[in-house]
Amino acid sequence: MTAGDTRREIRISIQRGPRITGRLEDADTHEPVHGLPVAIQEIVPWQTEPNVTTENDGRFTYEGWTAGPNRLRVMPRLWSGERVRTKFTEDDIEAVDQDYEESYWPGGSDLKSVVPMQAIPGAALDMGTIRLRKTAYYRAHIAFQAKGCETGRPYQVKVAREVPGRKIPDGEKEFSAACGQDLLLLGLRPGSYVATFQPKNVPAEEEQWAFVPFAITDRNAKVTAEMRMGSRSGGTG
């Protein structure tokens, strides 16, 4: 620089995000578990990063996630596939699925036992071998009755699992349904749920909603959703 030059030299250092690796194994057969979705979940705010999938040898690598208190979430294969059916048989309604349990790490099977990971930018963390067991996942048959709404009218439907103090999506996405159309939900764990039905492209003063609570115990559920004009109705489960 010359005298009187007001330019300043600025150096920018870019650090890569934390890197986490590990391996999933069947607790009974000790075989590697491939094709299972794995994600990093921030504890504050409650936010899940995009999934990665385990390789044939059961290993996974997750890079570039947000530094800070996080946990590792392992999910069943069911949640990566079809979660809602509009065409199904009686056998489909009665079927119970088996898949690997949802779990949180480090710690174990549920949120209460998890120990937050304090990630540092540029750091590498190896989770070692995580052993998983299969469990039952149930189904819910929702009868969306054409009462109080026009048959065929499109609705946005969302199903959330109730957790004390928070409703967290249970691995599913929002989906569309038509008034009078029966639905079959797959991949549900035991617990309390709420199905919300909201009409599409309808003025606010004409909206008809339904909030339908139901429970999954040790069997599949049958749920009835019924709209009532100008109200947010309940249902039966």
The CATH code of the domain that includes 192 is 2.60.40.10
Co-location of 23 and 122 in the same domain: yes
Co-location of 144 and 169 in the same domain: yes
Co-location of 147 and 170 in the same domain: yes
Whole-angstrom distance, CA of residue 52 vs CA of residue 123: 19
Co-location of 216 and 113 in the same domain: no
Average pLDDT over residues 22-36: 95
Amino acid at 202: V
- What is the tens place of the pLDDT at every residue in 52-73? 899 999 999 988 666 667 888 8
Q: What is the pTM of this model?
A: 0.79
Please tell me the total count of domains within the chain.
2
Tally of residues, the chain: 237
| The residue to which tokens 């997750």 are assigned | 62
End-to-end CA distance of the chain: 77
Domain that holds residue 119: 19-81+99-132
- What is the tens place of the pLDDT at every residue in 182-225? 999 999 999 899 888 887 776 665 667 778 889 999 999 998 88
CA torsion sign for 32, 36, 42, 43 is negative
Co-location of 117 and 163 in the same domain: no
- What is the tens place of the pLDDT at every residue in 87-128? 999 999 999 999 999 888 887 767 777 777 776 777 788 889
Co-location of 39 and 112 in the same domain: yes
Of the candidate ranges 44-48, 68-72, 152-156, 191-195, the one whose mean pLDDT is the lowest: 44-48
Whole-angstrom distance, CA of residue 137 vs CA of residue 161: 14
